[in-house]
Chains A and B, each alone.
Chain A
Amino acid sequence: MLANLRQVFRYRALISSLVARELKARYRGSVLGFLWTFVNPLLLLGIYTFVFTVVLSGARAGTRPEPYALFLFCGILPWTWFQSSLLESCSVLVAGGNLIRKVLFPAEILPAVTVLTGLVNFCLGLLVFAGVAISYGRPVISGDLVWLPMIILVQLALTLGLSLLLSSLTVHFRDIRDLLGNLLTLWFWGTPILYTVAEVPERFRTVFALNPFTHLAVAYQEVLFFDGPFTGWRPLLVLGAFALLVLLLGYFVFDRLRDTLAEEV
């Protein structure tokens, strides 16, 4: 396993070239270029903002954080990265079957490239976020920002772990992808992205605390949206440890299934 990890490290130039290729290939020949990546989140942003501040502006309107669109943005950006990485991981090995069957090539590079491509898009999205924040007249730079790389790293480990797990399992069970699509919808609504964690009724708090993405979303919101010092570092560290475990588990499963991949894809 260590030898494999070393091999992945040896291939880092290839990984970065593949990420660059993914980005280039996706946007070549399209007019809006990389902005397409944000069309869907921006659309969601518009819809949710309209629905929750105009249509459903009932009793609870006052409890919503303001400006609501910016608050939503903090949660939707990392969620988009997470969701698209996992969904694409399910098909990346099958799509790259030619490589796995015909070239000696560590297959874990493929899901890793998917997750890292998502990371690049996420970082570009942060720039868009900064632009929107400025247009709302809110400070962009704050001391909390030092935590941002840490939060991103935790999310990276968690996403990569799940990605490895899902990509190798999907080769054997193709319907994981459909299952995952629905699971992710459930997961999205069960995560404080559209609402703050404070709005969640007391009796559901434990359930929410068990959702790893709750802590990520809250961390992003605290660092990027709310004023004041970042207080959520303790759950973030616990989540970091958990993410590492997930990464190890994902890699372990991937490694065990490695030899079957070339036969099954």
Chain B
Amino acid sequence: MHAVEVRDVHKIYRRYGRRKSFGTLKSALLSGGVLKNLRPDGVFQALDGVTLDVRQGSTLGIIGRNGSGKSSLLKLIAGIGKPSSGTIHVSGRVSALIELGAGFHPEISGRENVFINGMMLGLSKAEVARRFDEIVAFSELGDFIDEPVKTYSSGMYMRLGFAVAINVDPDVLLVDEVLAVGDEAFTHKCLEKFAEFRRRGKTIVLVTHTLDLITRLCDETLWLDDGRVRAHGDPKRVVDAYLTEVAGTENRTEPPAAQPPAASRAEAAQGSAGRWGSQEAIIEQVELLRDDGQPAHVFESGQPMRIRARVRAVRPLSDFVFGIGIFTADGVCCFGTNTQIEGRVPGEWSGEGTFAVDIDRLDLVAGAYKLDVAVHRQDGVPYDYHRLLYSFRVASPLKDTGIYRPRHRWTFDGGIGISDANRDAQP
């Protein structure tokens, strides 16, 4: 079931160029006909054949350079404007957080603005009244709600705008870079609200330049470049491909080796596992070892595991970070860390080497797990990123659920009679 279906959408903006600066009726009449003047001088293709499905209940992130068509696409999905060709189908109520508090009138009170803004977003007066307390609570305005909006600080203004838009209770929420403007606390609050939305099975489409947000929030990521879909799929992979390209355009003088290999680009367009990076450093081999030093695929829950990788620097490097990440089979990150997070400062690296991560107790419940291993620059641009390329199983005699099994024990007091049937099985 798709919440949003975009089929081969083109959007052409007309440009009026020079005439626009003197665009008057007089000149239109003088230069021969008003109708002729309504015709554009040129066109600008904002979207060029975009096709896209967003599954119901999933979160899609859209990234891309400024002017790549992200906001245009979002506006078309919101129904603000029509595509020049192609179709867009959205099921359910849409709320677009494109500009917070658009349409607030500065002279009247926050209370009245909430009602009017809510109705603009498609609620009835009674619905706004029902949600009013919740809106005020979220905005943290308190008594200020009865003051004219012009007296609000910009933070209050945004909180109120966000509170109204989010309480429209949409099935599809469209967000355009609104989080970039708030302070830490506000951003945190918004993210919590998004998480709640996701739990309730709502669909979110998010346009942002905060790539960190994409990897944290999104199930899928779309990379738009010049109005075309450049890559679509696993957030981490698309973001890394994007970062690599941005780094590539920043350092055009670097040798061609710094460009991502063609194979990784093609890969970037499909599948969720893969490998990419500039290949200035290479991960040659990754092994998972048991405590007896033997490579293994199956590990006992609670037993040690060593992740060992053989790496090679193609040229001497002084900017490098090693990282690992453990994921469940359905892609939930169990644990991720790297040398930068843990305060290791890179020195010099040339030629071959190995690094290893020793996990003393693999406290995971039984199941299949996947592993990321990466070496990248400190700003995140990958040298060699191995995404979900390695897998292992955790075995356990117990059928407990979840992901993480902390060391724990049960104690019983008083009149509870209870005995342990598999005392020996407890690791």
Contacts and interface: CB of A to CB of B under 8 A. Distances in A.
Interface string B23-48: 11110100000100010000000000
B23 A173 contact: yes
A99 interface: yes
Nearest to A24: B108
A265 to B, nearest CB: 12
Contacts, number: 80
A21 B108 CA distance: 7
A14 B119 contact: yes
A263 B34 CA distance: 19
Among all A-B residue pairs, the 9 with the closest Cβ atoms: A25-B107, A14-B119, A102-B102, A102-B99, A173-B25, A175-B24, A102-B98, A99-B103, A104-B79
B99 A176 contact: no
B112 interface: yes
Interface string A21-44: 100110011000000000000000
B23 A104 contact: no
B38 A175 contact: no
A4 interface: no
Interface residues on A, range: 20 to 34
Given A28-B107, A173-B28, A174-B24, A104 B112 contact: no
B119 A104 contact: no
Given A28-B108, A98-B103, A103-B102, A174 B120 contact: no
Nearest to B82: A259
A6 to B, nearest CB: 14
A104 B102 CA distance: 11
A2 interface: no
B141 interface: no
Interface of A: 11, 13-14, 17-18, 21, 24-25, 28-29, 96, 98-105, 172-176, 179, 259, 262-263
A25 B112 CA distance: 11
A18 B103 CA distance: 11
Interface centre among A96, A172, A173 (most CB of B within 10 A): A173
A102 B174 CA distance: 12
Interface in B57-83: 75, 78-82
Interface of B: 13-14, 23-26, 28, 34, 38, 75, 78-82, 94, 96, 98-99, 102-103, 105, 107-108, 112, 115-116, 119-122, 124-125, 148
Interface centre among B79, B96, B102, B148 (most CB of A within 10 A): B102
Contacts of A173: 23-25, 28, 34
A99 B23 CA distance: 23
A3 to B, nearest CB: 13
Contacts of A175: 24-26
B119 A99 contact: no
Contacts of A17: 112, 115-116, 119, 125
Nearest to B121: A103
Interface centre among A18, A21, A100, A102 (most CB of B within 10 A): A102
Contacts of B25: 173, 175-176, 179
